Amino acid sequence: MPAVYIKNKRSIASILKIALIPVINGFAKYAWRSIPRSAYLGASPIRLNLAITRKCNANCVFCAYQFARKEDTVHMSDAIFKLALQRMRHARIRQVMMSPNIGEPLMAPMFMDKLSQLRAIGVDQIEVTTNGLLLHRTDARKFLLNGPDKINLSFAGFDQAMYERDYRVRHFERTRDSILKLLRENRLLGNKREINIRLRGDLPVDVLLAAPEMEEVMQLAHSVEVMTEVDDWLGLITKDILPEGYILQKEAPELTLRPCMLLWDLTVHPDGDIHLCACRNVYGDPRLHIGNIKEMDLVEAHGKIGDILDEWESGNVPTTCKTCSMYCDPANGLIGRRREIRQDAALKS
Ligand code: SF4
Ligand code: SF4
């Protein structure tokens, strides 16, 4: 979804590299067919998107969760989670993102215990996106010491009426306090975790940023990003169901014959099904389905990604992707991905 970064910490070296990126991306687009798959897929999975739950305790007006089928809004069972751990250990996966598509990860039973189990098998980079509604249940210091490495907080903004209108839940004050407490505690711990604030409210950007709490948030958060347009979630979200202040995304990126880079990583759903795309593939498009962890390990599943990319490159784009406005040109992600693959290989050697 279109968004604007208000704050994003970057090193000088990375800023210098950014200047070269358009040139390299342009070349990658031109030469895409000659770039070997191994350059962006690597030899085995480097990251797994793990949907430990598809339940959510909010009901955001801009999210497809409100249309989710009851049978899809479930927690991952202990048996599937245990099997996923075995598969991850075998594939030596070090990076896990725990909130693909829809769902509030902190609602998953024994969330912190699940994190410990992931760490125990060698996962050392855990990312979650949370609405923060349950943060009050865990001591902020403990959450930071033992919790995820990267915490993306999805929050409407510091305005109670807007929060209730957009997220359609109560507990604004409690959630606000939890977010501020987490940021302050993280500073006391020397910024142990990366905390990114994602403002998703319907008020204009300047109004969202003018809230009194934002001065402190700007100082303490690793990054602050504000959504400026709402994606239509494959046509599910329409202007008539959105509060007036939201702007529906006007233009979608043009699809090319370069398969979307969201297809580079596997996603395991609560039933063990392995799909591609942790973003908009909420209904399990059969064309993006690879198998199930009950019958296939993750290295084998990773080896099948190329078949789906082949189909796309031959012009047979998956149905879900045809109507998706979140397409990410892989040429634009090639440099970062190469770096990730190299770092992953070095740490595993
Ligand atoms: S908190 Fe996230 S998953 Fe839940 S309804 Fe809002 S955007 Fe969707
Ligand atoms: S185009 Fe959309 S649905 Fe397809 S892989 Fe990319 S983000 Fe997912």
Give the closest ligand to the alpha carbon of residue 166: 1
Euclidean distance between CA atoms 292 and 283, whole angstroms: 16
pLDDT at residue 237, rounded to an integer = 95
pLDDT at residue 141, rounded to an integer = 97
- Residue tagged 């839940």 (tokens): 169
pLDDT at residue 198, rounded to an integer = 97
The class of domain 3-10+38-332 in CATH terms is: alpha beta
pLDDT at residue 16, rounded to an integer = 58
One-letter identity of residue 274:
I
Low pLDDT (below 70) residues in the chain: 1, 9-19
- Cβ proximity of 270 and 75 under 8 Å: yes
Q: Is the CB of 220 under 6 A from ligand 2?
A: no
Q: How far is the CA of 262 from the centre of ligand 2 (A)?
A: 6
Closest CA to 293 of 261, 277, 270, 309: 270
Euclidean distance between CA atoms 4 and 227, whole angstroms: 6
Beta strand extents in 139-204 (DSSP E only): 150-155, 194-199
The whole-model pTM stands at 0.93
Beta strand extents in the chain (DSSP E only): 3-8, 47-50, 95-97, 125-130, 150-155, 194-199, 223-227, 266-268, 273-276, 289-292
For the chain, give the number of residues.
349
Of the CA atoms within 13 Å of residue 324, those in its CB half-sphere come to 24
Of the CA atoms within 13 Å of residue 196, those in its CB half-sphere come to 18
Q: Is the CB of 107 under 6 A from ligand 1?
A: no
- Cβ proximity of 49 and 268 under 8 Å: yes
Give the closest ligand to the alpha carbon of residue 51: 1
Per-residue burial over 267-298, b if 16 or more Cβ lie within 10 Å, else e, is: bbbbbbbbbbbbbbbbbebebbbbbbbeebbb
Give the closest ligand to the alpha carbon of residue 254: 2
Give, for ligand 1, the residue of 57, 104, 133 to mutate: max count of ligand atoms closer than 8 Å to Cβ: 104
The Cβ of residue 43 has, within 10 Å, a number of other Cβ atoms equal to 12
Q: How far is the CA of 44 from the centre of ligand 1 (A)?
A: 31
pLDDT at residue 67, rounded to an integer = 94
- Cβ proximity of 61 and 168 under 8 Å: yes
Closest residue to atom 6 of ligand 2, CA basis: 327
Q: Is the CB of 129 under 6 A from ligand 1?
A: no
Q: Is the CB of 263 under 6 A from ligand 2?
A: yes
pLDDT at residue 11, rounded to an integer = 63
